[in-house]
Amino acid sequence: MDNTLQQLIDMSRYLGDPGKDFAMLGEGNTSAKIDDDTFYVKASGTTLSTIDGAGFVKVSISKVTGILDDPAAGDDDVTRVLKEACVDPSETRRPSVETVLHAILLQFPEFKFVGHTHPVYTNTILCSKSAEDIANGRLFPDQIVSMGPRSIFIPYVDPGLTLAREVRQRLQRFIEDEGMLPLTIVMQNHGLITMADSPKGVISCMEMTEKAARILVGTYALGGPNFLPPEQVERIFSRPDEKYRMKSIAGAG
Ligand SMILES: [Zn+2]
């Protein structure tokens, strides 16, 4: 078994561990880039905690993201495109319905692994009236280092293609505004996505987001969160690079 697949299996089992409250049963999905255009993504109907090599499908990034540029495409087309995007034409397993989200992120050379889960405390915030606080508020320095100065917030929209289009559009806007790639994406009434160049990066960011959410939930009982002022957040976070400033994702809109 190749090393990337083994790393992905280990990361997936870790994130799917029932004791961590990130994902249950078939919830959550993960992916890893193989080369510039192909990646492994969790097959539909598999469970992260017990997944093995047979639980992943090899898929083409460009064939998956191609559907986003077709304004006439609907959710029925996603099923067809996901089938066509499988590297092995005789593939019988279906890639996760959230494969498009993974492909959008894996287009970037900086991202090699992606994790998506529905963590309990993060979703406590995301399912509340204070949902945007987890994206925009920062409470302590480790949170800033791990999650970035702010996260992308995706308001609730229909799952599937509508959600994927929303994620791509807000990712584009984030890069334009911040001049960097995001470290975390939070989706209202849904869950969390973390992405990095290693499984360790995906895991630590997910754990820190969940810790921050847990602390945030506690602060509401104690008079409300005392968010760090923006200038402190900026001072603590050292931007990885400036190369994404003014750059845009080809074709995003
Ligand atoms: Zn999900």
- Tell me the average pLDDT of the chain: 92
**53 Cα–ligand 1 center, Å:** 21
Strands of the sheet containing 38-42, edge to edge, are 56-60, 38-42, 29-33, 113-117, 191-196, 184-187, 152-154
Residue 191 dihedral angles phi and psi, to the nearest 5°: 170, -160
The 10s digit of each residue's pLDDT in 192-248 is: 999 999 999 999 999 999 999 999 999 999 999 999 999 999 999 877 665 565 454
Q: Which residues fall inside 5 Å of ion ligand 1, going by CB? A: 191
- Domain locations along the chain: 3-236
The 10s digit of each residue's pLDDT in 143-157 is: 999 999 999 999 999
**27 Cα–ligand 1 center, Å:** 7
**143 Cα–ligand 1 center, Å:** 23
The 10s digit of each residue's pLDDT in 24-33 is: 887 999 999 9
**101 Cα–ligand 1 center, Å:** 10
Helix (H) or strand (E) holding 136: helix 133-136
Fold of 3-236: L-fuculose-1-phosphate Aldolase (3.40.225)
> 152 - beta bridge partners?
185
**140 Cα–ligand 1 center, Å:** 27
d(CA 176, CA 147): 18
